[in-house]
Amino acid sequence: MCPFPYYVIMRNCKDKSLFRFRLVRYADQFGIKPAARAFASHPATVRKWLKRFHALGYHGLRDLSRRPKSSPRATSQDLKEHLRLLKTKKYKRLGAEQIKYLENLPVSTRTMRKIWRELGLSSRKRRKKYQTKRMLRDVKKNLNFLEFVCEDTKLLHDIPEYYPYIRKFNFPRVQFTFRDMSTGTLFMAFGSEKSATYAALFADYLQNALTSFGVDLSHTVRQTDNGSEYTAGWLATSDSAYTKVISQVQGQIHQTIPVRAHRYQADVETVHDIIEREFFEIESFSSRKDFFDKVYSYQLFFNLSRPNTYKEGKTPWQLAKEKMPHLNPALMAIPPLDLDALLAHNLALQNHSGVYDGSSNP
């Protein structure tokens, strides 16, 4: 009846239960041995499936699991729970190899990945960019006012709308920017060159102005890149002029970012892009004084009126007021600094008295 042996058919059959059903129906009608001959099988095989069919019906014709009833070397539930806690609480983004090495675990990395997969835990889940940003916002939100600030310089000659003023009227070529990471508060200075002298003058000007409003800078970290205006170079044997000015306030720290890690300066780089789009590409200027008047107006707008959608739609002043309820709003109106004028003023004082006054303001 069947041109192929039963076992060959079982290896290639997609629906084994249906074929076995035909086998047991034939055995019921004609007997076990005739069914074995007809289906090229063995009487013991026919007897097994006939017994299961009588006991369980059609569902009894399915293959049973070959899984062993006991496994002495199986991973214990305590170890599985320990692996779960390691992945969810302690090492959220480390791989199996690192975790096995750090914790000296007795199971293989393959077993660890299998257990995490069964628990619905990814072995290495890459964090989405929006998730990273959201977490960083929460970190920044919990910082105190002026606890952590970013400072950087921006060359202005690459802005097409502003470049003609540099070439024809010798307007400032460099912007020095100070931004509080928690509230987004912005202060600026402008000069003709990117130098350590100008960076030190701006740092001294700002910390004198801030302390005059009663702001405590003893726990402030001022982060910069590794530019020559902020550091003395890797061969230097002493601190830069900028670092020396920062250290005048007890407890205030100058911190540089790792080499090539420009994302550490994302806050201040972002505000550079905003200022370029909202100010330099729009405004026109009739004189150097007009330039500084409009820069001052923009800084007041940024600190007092412009809502930041990434900071709950609040202005820097509103956020600073929440952190320091008794803060004087005049602090937000510290004017942008003309570094060229300040340097000329200090040099004039030096020529007159023979003493250089680095802290005086124009």
Domain spans of the chain? 6-61, 77-118, 133-353
pLDDT digits (tens, 9 = 90+) for 254-296: 999 988 787 888 889 999 999 999 999 999 999 999 999 999 9
In this prediction, residue 197 carries a pLDDT of 93
Give the right CATH number for 133-353 from 3.30.420.10, 3.40.50.1370, 3.10.20.30, 3.50.30.30.
3.30.420.10
96 pLDDT band, cuts 50/70/90, is confident
360 pLDDT band, cuts 50/70/90, is very low
Higher pLDDT, 224 or 74: 224
The CA-based dihedral angle spanning residues 149, 155, 158, 162, taken in that order and rounded to the nearest 10 degrees: 90
Residue 185 has pLDDT above 50, yes or no: yes
Block residue for tokens 């086998």 = 23
In this prediction, residue 279 carries a pLDDT of 94
In this prediction, residue 164 carries a pLDDT of 95
Average pLDDT rounded to a whole number, residues 165-183: 94
pLDDT digits (tens, 9 = 90+) for 106-145: 999 999 999 998 888 865 566 676 656 665 666 677 888 9
Residue 361 has pLDDT above 60, yes or no: no
Phi, psi of 223 (to 5 degrees): -95, 135
In this prediction, residue 98 carries a pLDDT of 86
In this prediction, residue 74 carries a pLDDT of 85
Nearest to 87 by CA among 49, 50, 115: 115
What are all long-range contacts of 274-280, with beta carbons under 8 Å and residues at least 24 apart? Answer: 275/175, 276/159, 280/156, 280/159, 280/161, 280/162
Phi, psi of 27 (to 5 degrees): -65, -40
359 pLDDT band, cuts 50/70/90, is very low
Phi, psi of 320 (to 5 degrees): -65, -40
DSSP 3-state assignment of 158?
coil
Q: What is the DSSP string of 104-151?
A: T-SS-HHHHHHHHHHTT--SSPPPPHHHHHHHHHHHHHTSPTTSEEEE
362 pLDDT band, cuts 50/70/90, is very low
In this prediction, residue 266 carries a pLDDT of 86
What span, in angstroms and rounded, lies between the C-alpha atoms of 198 and 192? Answer: 9
pLDDT digits (tens, 9 = 90+) for 306-340: 998 878 889 999 999 999 999 999 999 999 999 99
pLDDT digits (tens, 9 = 90+) for 9-62: 777 777 888 888 888 999 999 999 999 888 888 999 999 999 999 998 988 888
Cβ–Cβ under 8 Å, residues 227 and 153: yes
Residue 341 has pLDDT above 50, yes or no: yes
pLDDT digits (tens, 9 = 90+) for 211-262: 999 999 999 999 999 998 998 777 677 889 999 999 999 999 999 998 878 7
Beta-strand ranges (E) seen in the chain are 148-155, 174-180, 186-191, 221-224, 253-256, 337-338
Nearest to 177 by CA among 271, 71, 80: 271
Residue 64 has pLDDT above 50, yes or no: yes
Average pLDDT rounded to a whole number, residues 72-79: 86
Average pLDDT rounded to a whole number, residues 162-185: 94
Composition of the chain by helix, strand, coil, percent to 5: 55, 10, 40
